[in-house]
């Protein structure tokens, strides 16, 4: 049996897999509309300004999406047009930042209205309390301050509990009454609870014979009358407190509405920045339009120079 000749199968396979030069094509990129749209966005990842325009905490994805959409609308060709479109994106991004800053300015003014008011009232109450106690004028003179008013009510409840537990005690009761109404011998615009207390306390101290002769109230009745007077005063101040709270709520709401725009210095600063951004945007867009018309061989309107002084 003859020895078989070497097989040239490998050579035949290699020859059969060689691609004719006439069928080789260079890469032309995506051909479909969706493919071209995706490819156009790839360039946004390499924007000249993308690394410097974004502040810490700002979304790179949102900026790149903005740039991609502008590229899609304006269809830049060449490096100059690309730079102008990206400049439009940076200006628009700054305008977005401006709106966020304006919103933060308004939010800051509105949300801290009540806090600022309460802080101011607390400091005023503290100074008034120190001054009134020093001159023994009584807290009741500054009852328009909500903190002082609240303190007066607390002292009245303390006085009532004290009398209900121990009866009428001129020394102990006067200590609390003077805190609220000041010294009894001082200037008083009208009679108050302190005066009523002294009337009933003096009556309760009247000898029995004189009380019967003059028809004065008994010590037990005097005790009850003092508690009734305290209850009336607590009711009066509580009613005033509620009415004042309603007025303050309405006033606070109006104050919040009035702060729906930034204050003077803040508003002026934001407006100047907005005008500058709008001017830059218009100039850049005009420059892009002129560049594109020149590229397409279309007539270009003469540039209008305005000298604003």
Query: Per the structure, how many domains does the chain have?
Result: 2
Do 201 and 91 lie in one domain? The reply is no
Residue 21 belongs to some domain of the structure: no
Q: In sequence order, which residues have a C-beta less than 8 Å from that of residue 42 and are 6 or more positions away? A: none
Do 173 and 279 lie in one domain? The reply is no
Flag whether the pTM goes above 0.85: no
Q: Find out whether 226 and 196 touch, Cβ atoms under 8 Å.
A: yes
Do 253 and 138 lie in one domain? The reply is yes
pLDDT at 246 over 90: no
Number of H helices, E strands in the chain: 12, 0
Residue 172 belongs to some domain of the structure: yes
What range defines the domain where residue 270 resides?
A: 57-111+263-297
Residue-wise pLDDT for 145-170, tens only, equals 888 899 999 999 999 999 999 999 99
Do 271 and 253 lie in one domain? The reply is no
Rounded to an integer, what distance in angstroms lies between the CA atom of residue 282 and that of residue 269? Answer: 20
Residue-wise pLDDT for 247-302, tens only, equals 888 877 767 666 666 666 777 888 888 999 999 999 999 999 999 999 999 888 77
Do 241 and 215 lie in one domain? The reply is yes
Q: Find out whether 71 and 44 touch, Cβ atoms under 8 Å.
A: yes
Do 268 and 250 lie in one domain? The reply is no
Residue-wise pLDDT for 80-139, tens only, equals 999 999 999 999 999 998 888 888 777 777 666 666 666 676 666 666 655 555 446 788
């Amino acid at each position: 049996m003859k020895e078989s000749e070497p097989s040239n199968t490998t050579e035949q396979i290699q020859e059969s897999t060689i691609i004719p030069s006439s069928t080789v094509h260079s890469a032309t990129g995506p051909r479909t509309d969706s493919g071209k749209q995706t490819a156009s966005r790839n360039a946004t990842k390499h924007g000249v300004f993308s690394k410097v325009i974004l502040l810490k905490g700002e979304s790179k994805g949102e900026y790149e999406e903005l740039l991609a959409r502008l590229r899609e609308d304006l269809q830049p060709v060449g490096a100059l047009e690309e730079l102008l479109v990206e400049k439009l994106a940076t200006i628009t991004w700054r305008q977005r930042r401006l709106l966020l800053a304006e919103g933060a300015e308004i939010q800051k003014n509105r949300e801290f209205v009540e806090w600022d008011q309460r802080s101011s009232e607390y400091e005023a109450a503290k100074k008034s309390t120190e001054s009134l106690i020093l001159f023994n004028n009584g807290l009741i003179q500054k009852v328009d301050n909500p903190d002082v008013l609240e303190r007066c009510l607390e002292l009245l409840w303390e006085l009532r509990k004290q009398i209900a537990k121990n009866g009428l005690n001129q020394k102990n009761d006067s200590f609390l009454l003077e805190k609220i109404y000041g010294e009894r011998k001082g200037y008083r615009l009208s009679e108050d609870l302190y005066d009523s207390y002294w009337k009933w306390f003096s009556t309760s101290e009247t000898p029995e014979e004189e009380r019967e002769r003059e028809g004065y109230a008994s010590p037990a009745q005097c005790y009850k009358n003092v508690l009734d007077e305290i209850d009336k005063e607590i009711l009066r101040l509580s009613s005033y407190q509620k009415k004042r709270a309603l007025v303050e709520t309405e006033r606070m709401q109006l104050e919040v509405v009035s702060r729906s725009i930034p204050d003077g210095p803040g508003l002026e600063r934001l407006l100047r920045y907005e005008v500058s951004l709008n001017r830059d945007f218009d100039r850049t867009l005009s420059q892009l339009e002129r560049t594109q018309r020149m590229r397409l061989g279309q007539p270009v309107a003469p540039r209008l120079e305005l000298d604003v002084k």
